[in-house]
Amino acid sequence: MEGRQDYNLLVIGGGSGGLACAKEAAQLGMKVAVVDYVEPSPRGTRWGLGGTCVNVGCIPKKLIHQAALLGGMIRDAPHYGWDVAQPVLHDWRKMAEAVQNYVKSLNWGHRVQLQDRKVKYFNIKASFVNEHTICGVTKGGKETLLSAEHIVIATGGRPKYPTHIEGALEYGITSDDIFWLKESPGKTLVVGASYVALECAGFLTGLGLDTTVMMRSIPLRGFDQQMSSLVTEYMASQGTRFLKHCTPSRVQKLPDGQLQVTWEDLTSGRENMGTFSTVLWAIGRIPETRSLNLENAGINTSPNSQKILVDAQEVTSVPHIYAIGDVAEGRPELTPTAIMAGKLLARRLCGQSLDVMDYSNVPTTVFTPLEYGCVGLSEEEAMARHGEEHVEVYHAYYKPLEFTVAERDASQCYIKMVCLRKPPQLVLGLHFLGPNAGEVTQGFALGIKCGASYEQVMRTVGIHPTCAEEVAKLRISKRSGLDPTVTGC
């Protein structure tokens, strides 16, 4: 395969980052191919083009989260004069069919977009032959050799199974399966404390299902821990049960089809058992690098995470091979960052720009029943980086107007802004817990990205009546309890 290459750019992986990179490069004049192949989950679940976000992540998750929120609104409705006949029942099959049909429409849309941009699409499982060539194998076993001047790896990751636990693989499911279930999962045990675990547990509870979360340690590791505690407090108040400091040791299938789970309470050392209809593993993700034969191309990976090592320009240990998105070491596992990184990489490859992706101050939201949006540093990160004496935190509990007439509990609705103490008090991080957190956080993320100070936020006029305006009212210092806008304080 020395000499002429088949393509200017070959993208391995048809998820958010890979598709964005391929389409941008093609639009700028490159000859581009995308190879994508979905290995079925251990339960046999498979899906189409578009990657995790479209098929088994952000999109179906947000839609089912919305279904759960609607259930809460129906319970609020009588307070606003609506005569709603009780009981109001939820039909999982009907919801699942609607969500899955929408996802399939997105799969088709991606195929059409590639065709429109003259990007060649191959539904093949790729592995490296050498640093310019990959071998792709179809579902039927047919092999295809493809070569390219530049190669981008954007294969993402898949959920991790605790294979050391008896019955975990045979009887458990993951986020790869939950959105494609035809029937309700019923009484569910969610194992893990990641955002995936809490989001799934939250919408299952919201849909009226008996749901338990088993946590070994802390919730939402890597996020602000005060906010994380409030997230789980609210979930518990809505009916989600939490088994804290517990680890499962065995899953057995009973004659009636139910799953008997045995676990150890790490605090007491006692063994306990419970019966569930479904066990959902949400204990982390692993990069899709194992079948790529990266060693044939000389691509280096992290010995710990198995993710691909890259520099600031997404370049791997091989100068013409790049990695973007979840498969790259040290990158946030977020769709929008992968998309932007892919587009910027394509522009650099085409000589249109020198801009590189800035991974600082990237906003995100955890779509738990009470949503948690954040951008920038957590309180813990700010103090570790700048020193406790140089950090000021402004905070407030608040009550959304929507919660008042319906008499909802707003005990966990909370906002905090983490700032440098020295004037003008640069904003280091914003954390918002409440309705529509993603919409609120997205707006303030622009200001923080542009270097907003606490003083500037306080001079921002709020939109009334909204939850977002509460951010511009954060007058109370967490450290001193004083209002800095009051003379003499």
Strands (E) across 7-115 are located at 7-12, 32-35
228, 244 in Cβ contact below 8 A?
Answer: no
57, 335 in Cβ contact below 8 A?
Answer: yes
Strands of the sheet containing 271-276, edge to edge, are: 246-253, 259-265, 271-276
Residue ranges of the annotated binding site are 62, 192-199, 284, 326
Q: Per this entry, what is the length of the chain?
A: 489
Q: Over 90-154, what HEC string results?
A: CCHHHHHHHHHHHHHHHHHHHHHHHHHCCCEEECCEEEEEECCEEEEECCCCCEEEEEEEEEEEC
Round to whole Å and give the CA distance between 358 and 338: 11
399, 407 in Cβ contact below 8 A?
Answer: no
Round to whole Å and give the CA distance between 284 and 295: 25
Residue ranges of the annotated binding site for FAD are 62, 326
Side-chain-side CA neighbours of 273 within 13 Å: the count stands at 9
431, 365 in Cβ contact below 8 A?
Answer: no
Round to whole Å and give the CA distance between 485 and 52: 46
Round to whole Å and give the CA distance between 169 and 214: 17
Structure tokens at 258: 């139910």
For residue 326, the tally of other CB atoms under 10 A from its CB is 28
Q: State the pairing for strand pair 188-191/211-215.
A: parallel
Round to whole Å and give the CA distance between 250 and 224: 32
Catalytic annotation present for 245: no
Catalytic residue among 110, 164, 431, 464: 464
Spell out a b/e string for 154-168, using b for 16 or more CB atoms within 10 Å of the CB, else e: bbbbbbebbeebebb
- The residues carrying an active-site annotation are 464
